[in-house]
Structure 1
Amino acid sequence: MAQVKGEFDVKRNPEGGFDLGGGAVAGHFRFDKQFHGALDATGIVHMLAVGTQVDGSAAYVAVERIDGTLDGLRGAFLTQHNGTLDRGAPTLSLTVVPDSATGELEGLRGRMQIDIVEGKHYYTFDYEIAEG
């Protein structure tokens, strides 16, 4: 597995909510990202998020399309986000959707970690490109 790290800029846009029944509503947001570093790409994310009556407990799911270059290889790929906040303790699984990569990134598999430090967003992307 190879690993790349860098920073990204993100802009959040509310898209309205979705009725989940029983008075529950999922927020829908679009995020536009610009990745810097070995991953030089744009990302468009659509996210559904829910909160609970307990402070610090929530969840989100999202799909993202990332388009650009990764270590100089050009292409695009999809990622799936699954995030949970359990009474303030966050967990995030962010994985490349199998067989979603195009161009020179075809065969891409991997996982990404996102860290937010003093308001800045950072990524760590562990990946491999399988042949055939």
Structure 2
Amino acid sequence: MPEPPKPITAPVRPTENIVDTGDNLQISSETPSVDLGKFTNTMTLQFSTDGQATPLVRSNPNYPPAAARDGVEGWVEMEFAISPQGEVIDVKVTNAEPKRVFDQAAVRALRKWKYRPLIVDGKPQPQYAQRVVLEFTLEQ
């Protein structure tokens, strides 16, 4: 039986791999990959959150075809908020390398994520200043 998901804390840029197993989300040492012909996209997620955000649904970004073809790798750091309904809102790219190559794919994927809302006194609360870094790497 898989371990229940661990809450994400705020250490300095930890690297955790998240695997969606259907109903449950679990942290795993396995890295999700997408077959791109001669390349394999390996995506590493780095979380730095100020709240107790628990991801429930995660959508992997699509590796931009031009970047895959040209062998370009990089990462996108984003800041966002979580609504009381657990939806990702107010996504802003705060840093990226290379600039503007992976931004659109990363933002589009993050907007599909769903979180367990923070409950305070029995009521769901918004969570602000959440951060995530999506890394895009190719393996030959």
Shorter chain as denominator, the TM-score bin is 0.3 to 0.5
Structure of higher RCO (CA pairs closer than 8 Å, 6+ residues apart): 2
Would you tell me which structure has more strand in proportion to its own residues? 1
TM-score scaled by structure 1?
A: 0.38
Would you tell me which structure has more helix in proportion to its own residues? 2
